[in-house]
Amino acid sequence: MKTTVAELARILGGKVEGAGDRPVETLSKIEEAGPKSLSFLANPKYEEFLYTTQAAAVLVERDFAPRKPVTASLIRVANPYEAFIQVLKQIHTPPQRLGIESPCHVGKCVHLGQQVYVGAFSYIGDHSHIGDKVKIYPQVYIGEHVKIGEGTIIYPGVRILDYCEVGRHCIIHANAVIGSDGFGFAPQKDDQYVKIPQVGNVVLEDDVEVGANTTIDRATLGSTVIRRGVKLDNLIQVAHNVEIGEHTVVAAQSGIAGSTRVGRRCSVGGQVGIIGHLTIADDVKIAAQSGVGKSITKPGSVVQGSPAFCINDYRKCYVLFRKLPELQARLENLSVQIQKAGQDEF
């Protein structure tokens, strides 16, 4: 990328404050930026870096008022973070890949759409349907009767097992597994377990993103469903017959047990555990490392803790929890004083 501050401002619909002819060649964090870098200020806690940054230009809000002199040029925009993403998208152009590399296996009765890429050592099972402009990177396994929608990107090492469906413009990152068996076993009188056949599938709707090493189990019956616009981080476990509502986001190392229904636009922090057969209402936020053991039926709830409950109540309880050693010492001291006072009376 080689441009100028003024040209970037024109593209972003922003206003330059300072030198507009400064060259810009890279994008950088504000605390690490060099003299030809563009950066942005969206979080107030990083404001101090604005006064020491070496950046050529920094994206700021239109009404931002610096408290100290700034050497960088400022580009005033409506939303600095969104503007920075816009620039990132313009300069990030992945290499165009087309055609089928060798060796690959493409089964019988497979439909391959137009402008498809299939990387080396990939396998596509019989009767699968691959939409237009799908990118399948090397060492991907796609089972039989799988459907993959237009424009989806599947990175190396992904496994999509039989009868699963992936929508349009999805992104599935390396080594994710879609459609592995659900964890279904029937206990027997002799303490052994009999495996319950898992005959359902997984359905990913449009615009879903699945992180690296995430696993989504097929349903026992019916479908495990990830609705439109859901974003799953790395290392997440989604069990059989789970449904995750539209535009919900789940952070890394979280697990959702079988047959739970998560609502729309929810936010689930990292290392959250949700037990099975629960209902989570729309717009719920679950703080990191929480354990959800019962349904959350009130839309917009914010919970924390294990077991999770109202985050405001949790914070009050946590204040007391941190004071327990001090309170214990005070109680022991009072106990000693009471015993001494009782002895003095006699």
Residues assigned a catalytic role: 240
Residue 31 corresponds to which tokens in the numbers above?
Answer: 């605390």
Q: How far is CA 98 from the centre of its chain?
A: 29
Contact 75, 60 (CB under 8 A): yes
Helix axis angle, 5-12 to 80-91, nearest 10°: 110
What's the CA gap between 160 and 166, in Å, rounded?
9
Contact 128, 140 (CB under 8 A): no
Nearest to 305 by CA among 258, 313, 275, 278: 313
Q: How far is CA 68 from the centre of its chain?
A: 37
Residue 117 corresponds to which tokens in the numbers above?
Answer: 């890429």
Using DSSP, state whether 47 is helix, strand or coil: helix
Residue 35 corresponds to which tokens in the numbers above?
Answer: 């003299």
The secondary element (H helix, E strand) that includes residue 84 is helix 80-91
Nearest to 101 by CA among 122, 124, 115, 129: 122
Using DSSP, state whether 296 is helix, strand or coil: strand
